[in-house]
Amino acid sequence: MWFSSDNLVLTVAQSACVLLPAAGLPRWAARFRTGAWALVLPLSIAVVIGAITLIPSTADVLTWVALVLVPIGCALALGWAGHRARWPAAALAAPLLAVAWATPHTKWGQGATAILIAGSAVTAGRLVAGVAPLTLLKVAVVAMAMLDSILVFSNNLQPANDVLVAASPGSGLPQLQSASFGFAGLGYGDFFAAAVVGGILAAERRAQWLAAPVLVLLSLAWDQLFLYYDTLPATVPPAVVVLGCAALDGRRARRREAGDGSAPAVERGSTTAPLPGATAG
Dist CA 94 CA 75 (whole Å): 8
**Packing angle of the helix pair 40-54, 158-166 (nearest 10 deg):** 80
Report the run of H or E that residue 185 belongs to, with start and end.
strand 184-187
Question: In this predicted structure, what is the pLDDT of residue 256?
Answer: 87
Residue 151 is part of which domain span? 5-27+34-259
Tell me, yes or no, whether 119 lies in a domain. Answer: yes
Tell me, yes or no, whether 137 lies in a domain. Answer: yes
Tell me, yes or no, whether 273 lies in a domain. Answer: no
Question: In this predicted structure, what is the pLDDT of residue 12?
Answer: 98
Question: In this predicted structure, what is the pLDDT of residue 10?
Answer: 98
Q: Residue 126: which of 137, 111, 116, 136 has the closest Cα?
A: 137
Average pLDDT over the chain reads 92
Burial 134-153 (b: 16+ CB within 10 A, else e): eebbbbbbbbbbebbbebbe
Tell me, yes or no, whether 129 lies in a domain. Answer: yes
The model's pTM: 0.91
Tell me, yes or no, whether 268 lies in a domain. Answer: no
Tell me, yes or no, whether 114 lies in a domain. Answer: yes
Confidence of residue 273 (pLDDT cuts 50, 70, 90): very low
Question: In this predicted structure, what is the pLDDT of residue 258?
Answer: 85
Report the run of H or E that residue 244 belongs to, with start and end.
helix 236-261
**Quick count: other Cβ atoms within 10 Å of Cβ 45?**
25
Q: Is pLDDT larger for residue 241 or for residue 26?
A: 241
pLDDT in tens, 65-75: 999 999 999 99
The number of distinct structural domains making up the chain is 1
pLDDT in tens, 55-92: 999 999 999 999 999 999 999 999 999 999 999 999 99
Tell me, yes or no, whether 272 lies in a domain. Answer: no
Is 187:236 a contact under the CB 8 Å cutoff? no
Tell me, yes or no, whether 264 lies in a domain. Answer: no
